[in-house]
Amino acid sequence: MSPNDGTVAAIGEFALIQAVTEGRRQPASTLLGPGDDAAVVAAPDGRVVATTDVLVQGVHFRLDWSSPEQVGRKAVAVNLSDVAAMGAKPTTVLVGFACPPDLPATVVTELMNGMWAEAGRAGIGVSGGDMVSADQLVISVTALGDLEDREPVTRSGARPGDVLAVSGRLGWAAAGLAVLRRGFRSPVGVVNAQRCPEPPYEAGPRAALAGATAMIDISDGLLADLGHIASASGVGLDVQTTDLEVSTRLREVGTALGADPLRWVLTGGEDHALAATFPPFGDLPEGWRRIGTVTMPDSGITVDGKEYGHEGGWEHWR
């Protein structure tokens, strides 16, 4: 039976796995792909960067807001951005997938099309995974990366006087979420930023080569995630709003919804931009822009030298 003809229960586990893996081209870093008990992936550096994220329907995505392909791309993107935030180059992803038996099989094949497309954007493939039955749709992706003989860039190396910089868009996904919650589906560029982020994968290794002292993926909001660098490094960070990019499109959406677009930029999550600190002398690498400075210990996260008067971003169970 074709995956276009019924539910996942009607197709069956093994036929569905075959449908989403057959004919896919693996990169050279995948030495053994799907079909055995485990994949084999090259690790030229001798060390492997590994990360995993879980996406739950209704919490991280909605199929009435996003197509299955967009959800698939997002599931891979949010993991690969964490690999990039360590200064590593992605090498592969593994996918764990759970869904109800009555889910149309086409949803699964379209999800996998999106995963392969996003993996391809990073120059890698999907080397394996697992499928199981569950009461709701859950996607778990594990991403691996190669440090290419560099040291990992952690959250704990920022020093007072360092330059704070970002690569990628901020506030777009939050603006898109605000639009969707109002029942609208446009402007498409803003809405699609929420449906499917576009992390700057190459910016992570580029920052590492330029001597970045600390780095993080912006998943929960700029101020919230900068707080992790501040805590791990024992420093403060000050964001200068005059250095932040608030695009004309975000300002237009903010005006239409009666919202402050700067708040989306400071606290909105799911853009998966990267934030990093760099030594104060020298140029920033390509694709990075200055947004502030690292300040003295115990000075906290400030905006224009003052404490920010709103919640800094997303946190589960709050």
- Where is the binding site for Mg(2+), in residues? 37, 51-53, 82, 130, 217, 220
Q: Which residues are annotated as a binding site for substrate?
A: 60, 270, 314
How many residues belong to the chain?
318
What is the β-pairing status of strands 236-239 and 273-278?
unpaired
Q: Which residues fall in the annotated binding site?
A: 37, 51-53, 60, 82, 129-130, 155, 217, 219-220, 270, 314
Question: Rounded to an integer, what distance in angstroms lies between the CA atom of residue 264 and that of residue 174?
Answer: 6
Contact 276, 215 (CB under 8 A): yes
* Cα 256–Cα 258–Cα 259 angle in degrees, nearest 5: 110
Give the residue ranges of the annotated binding site for ATP: 129-130, 155, 219
For residue 111, give the nearest of 61, 179, 178 by alpha carbon: 61
Contact 3, 108 (CB under 8 A): yes
